[in-house]
């Protein structure tokens, strides 16, 4: 291959990579919307059970001890940053939406499907106790 041909194919490869990673970043930064059927799911669980402890173990590193999205790992993460659970943006969502997002994750937010359903609902109830704090 000629030197020109070689640098051209490198340039094409670099551009392809930039476009691809750019698209991935943009798609991860768009608004995160749960599907309508998840939104409508009713919370079958009352109370927070051991959710405070589960949150301390699994979530505060990113979401912070008070759920404000300011955990020690948050600073190192690229946007979108861990959500502030006390905010209107989170609190205005239905229990079903929060449950679905927690279960599926996105980007740096891990999926928590391996936690039993009732524990995930208790965590949703716990997030409710932080409203406006
Ligand atoms: C490694 C860091 C990390 C951990 C650990 C983590 N999260 Fe997240 N979380 C994120 C990030 C980053 C986002 C924002 C994701 C986005 O908008 O794409 C997020 C978003 C969320 C949202 C969505 C809020 C919204 O804006 O709609 C909920 C709910 C949530 N997290 C709950 C939890 C729960 C519950 C746990 C623990 C069981 C947890 N997270 C653990 C990083 C983390």
Distance 18 CA to ligand 1 centre (A): 27
What is the CATH classification number for the domain harbouring 76? 1.10.760.10
CB 34 less than 6 A from any atom of ligand 1: no
pLDDT at 73: 97
Question: Using CA positions, which residue lies closest to atom 40 of ligand 1?
Answer: 59
4 lies in which domain range? 1-30
CA angle 53, 132, 41 (to 5 degrees): 65
Same domain, 76 and 106: yes
pLDDT at 12: 57
Q: How many domains does the chain have?
A: 2
pLDDT at 30: 85
Ranges of residues in the chain with a pLDDT under 50 are: 15, 17-19, 26
pTM as predicted = 0.84
What the block records as the tokens of 113 is: 């499907």
CB 48 less than 6 A from any atom of ligand 1: no
Same domain, 21 and 84: no
CB 73 less than 6 A from any atom of ligand 1: yes
Question: Using CA positions, which residue lies closest to atom 35 of ligand 1?
Answer: 102
Can you give 13-76 as a three-state secondary structure string? HHHHHHHHHHHHHHHHHCCCCCCHHHHCCCCCCCCCCCHHHHHHHHCHHHHCCCCCCCCCCHHH
CB 98 less than 6 A from any atom of ligand 1: yes
């Amino acid at each position: 291959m000629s030197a020109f041909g070689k640098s051209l194919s490198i340039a094409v490869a670099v551009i392809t990579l930039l476009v691809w990673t750019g698209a991935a970043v943009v798609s991860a930064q768009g608004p995160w919307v749960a599907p309508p059927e998840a939104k409508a799911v009713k919370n079958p669980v009352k109370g927070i059970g051991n959710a405070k402890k589960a949150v301390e173990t699994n979530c505060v590193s990113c979401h912070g001890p008070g759920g404000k999205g300011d955990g020690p790992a948050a600073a190192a993460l690229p946007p979108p940053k861990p959500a502030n659970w006390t905010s209107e943006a989170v609190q205005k969502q239905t229990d079903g939406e929060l449950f679905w997002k927690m279960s599926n994750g996105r980007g740096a937010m891990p999926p928590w499907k391996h936690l039993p359903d009732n524990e995930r609902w208790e965590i949703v109830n716990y997030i409710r106790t932080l409203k406006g704090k």
